[in-house]
Amino acid sequence: MALRGPYIIGLVLLALAGCAAKVVEEPEAVPVRPKSRPAAIAAPVAPSARSMAISQYYAGIQSDLLSRGLLRTDGGGADTPFDDRVLADNFIRIALYDEYVRDDQGFRQVETPGRLRRWTKPVRVGLVFGPSLSAQARAIERARVGSYLARLSRLTGHQIGLAPDHTNFNIFIVNEDERLGLGTAIQKAAPNLSASEVASVENLPRDTYCLVYASSNAASTYTGAFALIREEHPTLLSMACLHEEIAQGLGLQNDSPQARPSIFNDDDEFALLTGMDELMLRILYDPRLSPGMTEAEARPIVQTIATELMASAS
């Protein structure tokens, strides 16, 4: 999916034709401390005309995609076959290549070879809601995200779940009005972002649907992540953003036009995590792989794991 929007510091940036994932690398000497969940953002409760207009815009986007048979939720089927070689090749392209590079001008979309990155500490996810979300809407989001995190934890064998404090993966669900006042909260959640990068999140163009920034250290392990989901999205686009951004923030950081069935593809065919995506997450957190591996180091191991997984599924 191409939801333009994930950013990883260390850098991972992802996009649904509108998502982005970027990785920011921390200086090796900087100690990493768990970050507490930021407080809810103070902002007007009533949405502005701009927020209401962008809600209509995204409703139109979702309707158009669905009318063309896109945003599938079936996870793939007989029309999307793949074998162990395809699975291994797609994993290498998605987990071992970076979609963005970071320089003095900020993040630029240039695919480059990278290293395998993943979490080694428990992933403690915090949800930060703007005041525009009702208590009922917040409860629904907590249930949706909590269920998805439990699924990811089962797939990876890694501890991933919602946490009340000392969070290290904060997800902001806010509308247009609330996002404009997020500067201080963003700096707290993603302290390695520059002032101009923080400003780019506050002034997000509408063709960027959602985003994630993840920080990694010199050992290629993640130390923190920050995601932003637009409150104005209709249900399926919102779920698509959550599925892709969170999974990219776990280490599947790139997109590939060859990946099918997969949300890590800019064609928007699939909205939710697919069968192939589940297998790639299992490969990513297999103990036979280690953070920091290059493609040359990882490929033979990845092929072995992919062959085993496909054999067990047949």
Residue 36 pLDDT class (50, 70, 90 cuts): very low
pTM over 0.85: yes
| AA identity, residue 203 | N
Amino acid occupying residue 85: R
Q: Is residue 39 part of a domain?
A: no
Share of the chain above pLDDT 90, in %: 71
Enclosing domain of residue 163: 3-32+45-313
Q: Is residue 286 part of a domain?
A: yes
CA distance 139 to 120: 29
- For residue 197, the model assigns a pLDDT of 86
Predicted confidence at residue 43, as pLDDT, reads 42
Per-residue pLDDT at 22: 56
Please report whether residue 73 resides in a domain.
yes
Residue 293 has pLDDT above 60, yes or no: yes
Q: Which residue has the higher pLDDT, 56 or 3?
A: 56
Our count of domains for the chain comes to 1
Which token pair is 264?
């890590």
Burial 248-271 (b: 16+ CB within 10 A, else e): bbbbbbbbbeebbbbbbbbebbbb
The token pair that represents 245 in the structure block: 């951004």
Residue 47 has pLDDT above 90, yes or no: no
Nearest to 228 by CA among 243, 207, 242, 247: 242
Q: Is residue 309 part of a domain?
A: yes
> Phi and psi dihedrals of 271, rounded to 5?
-95, -35
> Per the domain annotation, does 10 fall within a domain?
yes
Is-contact 119 221, C-beta < 8 A?
yes
Distance CA(308)–CA(18), nearest Å, equals 34
Asked if the structure places residue 120 within a domain, the reply is yes
pLDDT band per the 50, 70, 90 thresholds, residue 195: confident
The whole-angstrom separation of Cα 190 and Cα 102 is 15
Site of tokens 């923190």: 224
Residue at 186 is within a domain:
yes
Residue 279 confidence (pLDDT) above 90: yes
Percent of the chain whose predicted confidence (pLDDT) is above 70: 82
With vertex at residue 50, the alpha carbon angle to CA 43 and CA 173, rounded to the nearest 5 degrees, is: 50
Within a domain: 38: no
Cα–Cα distance measured from residue 186 to residue 213, given in angstroms and rounded to the nearest whole number: 10
Residue range 276-295: mean pLDDT, rounded:
98
